[in-house]
Structure formats: structure tokens, C-alpha cells
Amino acid sequence: MRDTIATALNTAIKAQDKRRVPTLRLIMSAIKDRDILNRGTGKDAASSDEVSSILAKMIKQREESAKLYEDGSRPELARQEREEIEIIREFMPAQLDDAEIRRVAKQVIDEIGASGLRDMGKSMNVLKERYAGQMDFGKASSIVKDLLQ
């Protein structure tokens, strides 16, 4: 994933794409920051799962910013945030839809033998381990809660 982003950055620089270059540089910077943080704690460089979670976090931040810009009557800045979201999404693994989230959540609940809300944390940890960057864990949390009740 890291190589794909680096290649896309080089291509954008050569094409002088004024929209993609800064966004791709932000992505590379966030990955490098995680690498430095990992190095300080004795871990390896950021894995693909960690990169996916970084990208998901960046998308969430931009969605929040776009909403704030819209509420503040700044549609041009909201549009810019949404363009960045689309660029970042190009590097994300395919996202699971609600039906697919429900299916895998049910599978995990059955697999670990979860029987009530007290097992919600265990269920969510397994989902986060297996599907990092592939689902919205806010949605998944409400689905797991619904299934466990």
C-alpha cells in the first residue's frame, strides 16, 4: 500500500496535479509519523492495516471539517475537503456495506460465543483486528450491540 501511494505521489508531481500532490504528501507524512512512533516503541514500520486505519482516520477528519465548513457557509472549503476524501479513498480497501457488516459481526459473535452486551468489547476487538480499514466501526458497534441484545 505504501508503494502504491508513493507511486501515485510521483505521478501527481510529474503531472503537476495541484489537488493530489498536497493530499498525497499528507498521507505519506501521516504514515512516516506512525513509523517514527512505532520505532520509538520498538515496533516495526506501519503495517498495511495500520496504514488503512490512518487513512480511515484522515477521511473521518475531513468529513467532520467539511460539515463544519458547510455549517459556516464556506462551500468552497467543504468542496476541497470532499475532494481530499475522494483522493484518500482511492487507497482504502473496499468498504463493507451494512449488510456485509451485519453478516461478519454475526459470524464473529457466533465464533467467540458472545452472549450479551458484556461481550461487546471482545466482539469489537475481533472485528477491528480482522477488518481494519474495511468498515466504519461506529456503524459496526451499533450493529454488534443490536445483535447482542
| 101's grid cell | 457488516
Does the domain at 2-89 match CATH 1.10.10.10? Answer given as no
Using the structure block, give the residue that is written with the C-alpha cell 468552497: 76
Using the structure block, give the residue that is written with the C-alpha cell 458497534: 141
pLDDT tens-digit map of 65-92: 999 999 999 999 999 999 999 999 899 8
What's the CATH code, domain 98-148?
Answer: 1.10.10.410
> How is the chain split into domains, by residue range?
2-89, 98-148
| 57's grid cell | 482516520
Taking the C-alpha atoms of residue 65 and residue 78, their distance in angstroms, rounded to an integer, is 7
Supply φ then ψ for residue 46, to 5 degrees: -55, 130
Does the reported pTM lie above 0.75? Answer: no
pLDDT tens-digit map of 100-117: 888 998 898 888 888 888
Using the structure block, give the residue that is written with the C-alpha cell 456495506: 97
- In this prediction, residue 95 has a pLDDT band, given cuts at 50, 70 and 90, of confident
